[in-house]
Amino acid sequence: MVDLNKIYNKKIPNFISRLNKKEITSSQCFNCLRETEKAIEKGYWKKFSKPMYYWYEMCDAEKREIIKYIDKYKPKTILELGFGSGRILNVLLKAKYNNKIFGVEKDSKIFKITKPLFKKSKNVYLFNENIDKFLERKTKYDLTIGMMNTIGNIDNLKLIQKIVLRSKQFIFTVYDRVYYKLRSNIYKSKGHINFFEKNKNYYFNDCWAKGLKSKSYSKTEIENICKLIGKKYQIKKISKLLFWVCIYD
Ligand SMILES: C[S@@+](CC[C@H](N)C(=O)[O-])C[C@H]1O[C@@H](n2cnc3c(N)ncnc32)[C@H](O)[C@@H]1O
């Protein structure tokens, strides 16, 4: 039984009450992502007031865009960067064609919780590693995915270049800098206590997110990254908080 008072420092966030007892784990990130996935599936988030509404709207938009994308391109091999609770893996698994899905996640705690959830999915291969090290294998994927600003957590152009080198198509979402203020209240309601904002980026020091940075981007900044990479690209807004970026051969 998870001691919620302990893991949330006696300030248990409200969203926890929307999970069944069996769904709650000792990973704060897992709990947040699992409830988000559940909310999207059930649709109750549509009644939430802003800015919480925008959090779920963003995840709903990601899900819809991914479904559209894989239906159109039917990639045979897919790599998800930072798969967390497996929210996106579950979306990918719904595709009705034969594909191999790889996932890499550096956080051992969330990895140990998520990996067993996919043990029956024979086409899913999960690795507890840093993306940088994982990509040393030099395998090339039809599609690489990095959702929920995972690329903004990494904020490393060399690594983005390496990802692109290993991917025929790379799709990722990043936070729109214009709406950075809205994210502060969202983080509070997700149980973060110890964080601050500087230059429209967020920095976290909660025990489960120590040293985590969440960068946000202007459209020009993303365009400059894409231009440096030198491939074709497309950038579009898919929700209030997010840019959707696609870099392709
Ligand atoms: C914001 S969460 C998003 C989770 C998932 N992609 C989703 O959309 O539901 C980012 C995830 O990426 C993982 N991550 C961040 N940097 C990573 C790296 N360099 N290598 C592997 N995983 C990483 C984090 O541990 C975290 O689980």
Q: Tell me the pLDDT tens digit for each residue of 109-143.
A: 999 999 999 999 999 999 999 999 999 998 999 99
Residue 146 has pLDDT above 90, yes or no: yes
- pLDDT at residue number 64: 98
Ligand 1 center from residue 141 Cα (angstroms): 18
Report the CATH number that the domain containing residue 69 is assigned in CATH.
3.40.50.150
Residue 15 located in a structural domain = no
Residue 205 located in a structural domain = yes
pTM over 0.75: yes
Tokens of 175: 């936070």
Residue 14 located in a structural domain = no
Ligand 1 center from residue 1 Cα (angstroms): 26
Residues contacting residue 133 through CB under 8 Å, at least 6 positions apart: none
- pLDDT at residue number 116: 98
Atom of ligand 1 lying closest to residue 86 CA: 9
Residues contacting residue 165 through CB under 8 Å, at least 6 positions apart: none
Residue 96 has pLDDT above 90, yes or no: no
pLDDT one-digit tens code per residue, 189-242:
999 999 999 999 999 999 999 999 999 999 999 999 999 999 999 999 999 999
Q: Is 81 exposed, middle or buried, given 0-12, 13-18 or 19+ CB atoms closer than 10 A?
A: buried
β-bridge mates for residue 146, sequence order: 172
Residue 17 located in a structural domain = no
β-bridge mates for residue 171, sequence order: 145, 246
CA distance 180 to 193: 17
- pLDDT at residue number 98: 85
Region 176-184 average pLDDT:
98
- pLDDT at residue number 97: 83
Atom of ligand 1 lying closest to residue 87 CA: 9
Ligand 1 center from residue 95 Cα (angstroms): 22
Residues contacting residue 76 through CB under 8 Å, at least 6 positions apart: 98, 99, 100, 142
User: Which residue among 37, 105, 137, 202 has the greatest number of ligand 1 atoms within 8 angstroms of its CB, and so is best to mutate?
Assistant: 105
- Domain count of the fold of the chain: 1
- pLDDT at residue number 9: 86
Tokens of 239: 């929700």
User: Which residue among 41, 78, 106 has the greatest number of ligand 1 atoms within 8 angstroms of its CB, and so is best to mutate?
Assistant: 106
Ligand 1: lining residues by beta carbon, under 6 Å: 29, 33, 82-84, 87-88, 104-107, 110, 130-131, 147-150, 153-154
Residue 19 located in a structural domain = no
- pLDDT at residue number 191: 95
- pLDDT at residue number 12: 95
Confidence of residue 1 (pLDDT cuts 50, 70, 90): confident
Ligand 1 center from residue 130 Cα (angstroms): 10
Tokens of 121: 């999915």
Residue 8 located in a structural domain = no
pLDDT one-digit tens code per residue, 27-36:
999 999 999 9
Residue 25 located in a structural domain = no
Residue 171 located in a structural domain = yes
In degrees and rounded to multiples of 5, residue 50 shows phi and psi of -75, 150
What domain range includes position 189?
Answer: 34-248
